[in-house]
Amino acid sequence: MARKPNLLLLGIDSLRADHMSLYGYHRLTTPHIDKLAKQGTVFEFAFSPSIPTTPGYASMFSGLDCFGTNVVALRHEGPMADNVVTLAEVLKAHGYNTTSVGFEGNAASRGFDRYLNYEGWGSFEEGRSPKAENLNQVAIPELERLAQDDKPFFLFLRHMDPHSPYLPPTPFERMFYGGNEFDPDNDSLKPVYEFKPFADYFKSWFPPGCTDKEYIIAQYDGAIAYMDACIQNIFTKLQALGIEENTLVVITADHGETLHDHECWYDHHGLYDCTLRVPLVFYYPGKVPAGKRFSDYCQLKDVMPSILELLGIEHDLKLDGRSLVPLMRGEWREPEPEFYITECTWMRKHGWRTPEWKLIRALEPDFHFKPEVELYNLIKDPEENHNVADEEPEVVAMLEARMQAHIARREKETGRTNPMYTNLNWHGKGCGPFKTSEQAYNNLYIGSPKSAKKLQAGEEK
């Protein structure tokens, strides 16, 4: 009996697709991923509809939407829903060795045999942060160990380089910046320093006295380029071990990132496409077609069923996602052009996205003092800078009706209330929903990379 294929899944935290050269970005940020992707299949419009990390990975690892997982919040309390079977659990049942690198202690990380960790954070005081090299020091020996076993393996790598703090090592910190980040006449970071909830956190990793937002954006891009170079080490090791031909490589992200967009400074909150749109690449020589790019909309819930089909794993799971493999074979796959979007990050909002429109509705006042209802025409205004909710009340009503119909249908199908309505301690403050934006602004605070790390690991209650 032939050995089943291996799976190498790269989940790159906070990687927005539109800052990758793979997706047409003007800076050459991902040359090594680009090269691999040319030999595989790329999905141009992949979305993480429920942000941030915990619901994003919950969907990726379960093939379910947020109603199926019952997970919508970063600070999710308790396990995922009882019905959830994770990708690691399925593959383990089919004889796989399973290892997770850099993702432990989170509700969505359940089911791996081994959990290995590395330092994926940093601060300005600590100096430049070689996050991807730290990962490689752990991941490459584990890849070698797994390759020597007679069982197939599932190795999950959670890269943290595009996640703040953006501290790429030399020479990447100046690869995309040639200006003066301390220019006294540049006040582009002034509103960032005035945003009390995050200001101390930013000061912990911005160079003291930095004034130029373009320098910070260049650090994000440099971190991607640095990570991309280190990821090539992983690809090279696959080839050196002689297992490339029998390994499915998948590259994606849990969500994107807001940079100097929408006043959601250098984080991943806000239901805008910079945060929702993620990369999705499949590479498997001889099994995944080379040089294909698809513009069909897909979501993180489609990753698990696609992987299982490519690995030849039969199952009877009831998944919300659908395999993308029919598209790779040149067959028809019914599109899913509109979908429900949610966030319980630093704000609690949900909405509805179509190819033309995006509706965002706040479920409680947010700390940016934004309007309760936002509407964007994604064709006329792809960067979502002009809220037309007041000008298009009929469109708001239409999208609201479609969203509510979807919620009612999914509540009936899952037998549970929409988790957006039940996760009232999403912020971990124990006070219930915020009554005013002032209350949210004064209560939400992140002061250091250490506290951010605790939030990510689910340690802070």
User: Span 428-434, mean pLDDT?
Assistant: 91
**3-state SS, one letter per residue, for the chain:** CCCCCEEEEEEECCCCHHHCHHHCCCCCCCHHHHHHHHCCEEEEEEECCEECHHHHHHHHCCCCCHHHHCCCECCCCCCCCCCCCCHHHHHHHCCCEEEEECCCCCHHHCCCCEEECCCCCCCCCCCCCCHHHHHHHHHHHHHHHHHHCCCCEEEEEEECCCCCCCCCCCCHHHCCCCCCCCCCCCCCCHHHHCCHHHHHHHHCCCCCCCCCHHHHHHHHHHHHHHHHHHHHHHHHHHHHCCCHHHEEEEEECCCCCECCCCCCCCECCCCCHHHHEECEEEECCCCCCCCEEEEEEEEHHHHHHHHHHHHCCCCCCCCCCCCCHHHHCCCCCCCCCCEEEEEECCCEEEEEECCCEEEEEECCCCCCCCCCEEEEECCCCCCCCCCCCCCCHHHHHHHHHHHHHHHHHHHHHHCCCCHHHHCCCCCCCCCCCCCCHHHHHHHCCCCCHHHHHHHHHCCCC
Distance CA 85, CA 444 (A): 33
User: Span 371-380, mean pLDDT?
Assistant: 98
Contact 111, 92 (CB under 8 A): yes
Q: How many CB atoms lie within 10 A of CB 244?
A: 18
User: Span 376-385, mean pLDDT?
Assistant: 98
The string of pLDDT tens digits covering residues 212-246 is 999 999 999 999 999 999 999 999 999 999 999 99
Q: What is the predicted pLDDT for the residue at 3?
A: 81
The string of pLDDT tens digits covering residues 346-357 is 999 999 999 999
User: Could you name the CATH architecture of 339-457?
Assistant: 2-Layer Sandwich (3.30)
Please determine, for residue 445, whether its predicted confidence score (pLDDT) is greater than 90: no
Q: How many CB atoms lie within 10 A of CB 246?
A: 18
User: Span 328-355, mean pLDDT?
Assistant: 97
Strand-pairing partners, residue 101, are 116, 157
Q: Dihedral sign, CA of 52, 384, 265, 399?
A: negative
Largest CA distance in the chain: 69
Residues 6+ apart with CB under 8 A from 381: 388
Q: What is the CA radius of gyration of the chain?
A: 21
Q: What is the predicted pLDDT for the residue at 192?
A: 96
Strand-pairing partners, residue 378, are none
User: Span 394-404, mean pLDDT?
Assistant: 98
Residues 6+ apart with CB under 8 A from 244: 238, 285
Q: What is the predicted pLDDT for the residue at 423?
A: 93
Please determine, for residue 461, whether its predicted confidence score (pLDDT) is greater than 50: no
User: Span 173-182, mean pLDDT?
Assistant: 97
Contact 233, 136 (CB under 8 A): yes
Q: What is the predicted pLDDT for the residue at 452?
A: 60
Please determine, for residue 458, whether its predicted confidence score (pLDDT) is greater than 80: no
Distance CA 219, CA 237 (A): 27
The string of pLDDT tens digits covering residues 56-115 is 999 999 999 999 999 999 999 888 888 899 999 999 999 999 999 999 988 889 999 999
Query: Counting beta carbons within 10 angstroms of the beta carbon of residue 82, is it exposed (0 to 12), middle (13 to 18) or buried (19 or more)?
Result: exposed
Q: Where are the domains of the chain?
A: 6-328, 339-457
Confidence band, pLDDT 50/70/90 cuts, at residue 459: very low
Q: Are strands 247-252 and 280-283 parallel, antiparallel or unpaired?
A: antiparallel
User: Could you name the CATH architecture of 6-328?
Assistant: 3-Layer(aba) Sandwich (3.40)
The string of pLDDT tens digits covering residues 253-272 is 999 999 999 999 999 999 99
